[in-house]
Amino acid sequence: MHTFILDKPDNLIDWWEESVTKFADRRLFGTKNKNGVYEWLTRKEVNTRIDNLRAGLAQLGVNESDAVGIIANNRVEWPVAAFATRGRIARFVPMYEAELVQIWKYIITDSQIKVLFVSKPEIYEKIKDFPKDIPTLKHIFVIEAEGEHSMAAVEKMGAAKPVSPQSPKADDIAELIYTSGTTGNPKGVLLSHGNFTSNSHAGLKMYPELKKNEALTLAILPWAHSYGQTAELFAIIRLGGAMGLAESASTIVNDIFRSNQLF
């Protein structure tokens, strides 16, 4: 019988916490503003939002092995929600914005999502009645909104009552990613913290040149896919690098020029 020893950190909470401690004031995420100019957030600033949202999730009753979902493209709130969820040793379930409503409903039902974040009011209007048919779905919050049903409200609630992150084990489930479902209903794949960290460790070993300088990139891969997380999101976090978020696949060339401070 073989015993496998994983490189440390072997869970995504320690992965994140070590990066914040080491590179607190380094920029991490860049997002285009209304004028098309990239504005940046440091790890410390992102971590504040993670801390607040994690505490908010705790007040909503999110505990170990519960599921928290998101319907959103790459944006700052995506990793904020993901790391906040993992700090409760809960399971994160990402979904694409460009998806059929019945697929969202199937995934939310199958994964037993308890709290769901959606990017836009337009998506909320399509799924607002889901709790009537899905008894496990207790709360829906909108990212681009204000008021009690907004993600900001959960963060504000958490800021008033902080809760420290819990450190998962390597074999705890970090995420539940669903296949495209082209041959039937989507199939959920359970991915552990060790799955993600070991893949990212291996990738960084294969490209040691990335460690020589502060890694700078344009994020173009969807984080709802495991490769987008291991090869891009987690790798850049670990390296102390930064990533500008591409607005869409059709704007990548323009985004490269707009974010020319990256290159």
Cα–Cα dist 87/236, whole Å: 20
Residue 226 lies in a domain: yes
What is the band of 213 on the pLDDT scale with cuts at 50, 70, 90? Answer: low
- Its pTM stands at 0.95
Cα–Cα dist 193/31, whole Å: 27
CATH number at 129 reads 3.40.50.12780
Candidates 219, 242, 216; CA nearest to 232 is 219
pLDDT (tens digit per residue) in 82-123 = 999 999 999 999 999 999 999 999 999 999 999 999 999 999
CB 242 within 8 Å of CB 27:
yes
Report the pLDDT value the prediction gives residue 1, as an integer from 0 to 100.
Answer: 52
Domain count, the chain: 1
Residue 1 lies in a domain: no
Q: Which residue range is the domain that position 93 belongs to?
A: 12-262
What are phi and psi for residue 39, nearest 5 degrees? -115, 145
- Average pLDDT on 170-195 reads 92
What is the band of 172 on the pLDDT scale with cuts at 50, 70, 90? Answer: very high
What is the band of 48 on the pLDDT scale with cuts at 50, 70, 90? Answer: very high
Report the pLDDT value the prediction gives residue 183, as an integer from 0 to 100.
Answer: 77
What is the band of 263 on the pLDDT scale with cuts at 50, 70, 90? Answer: very low
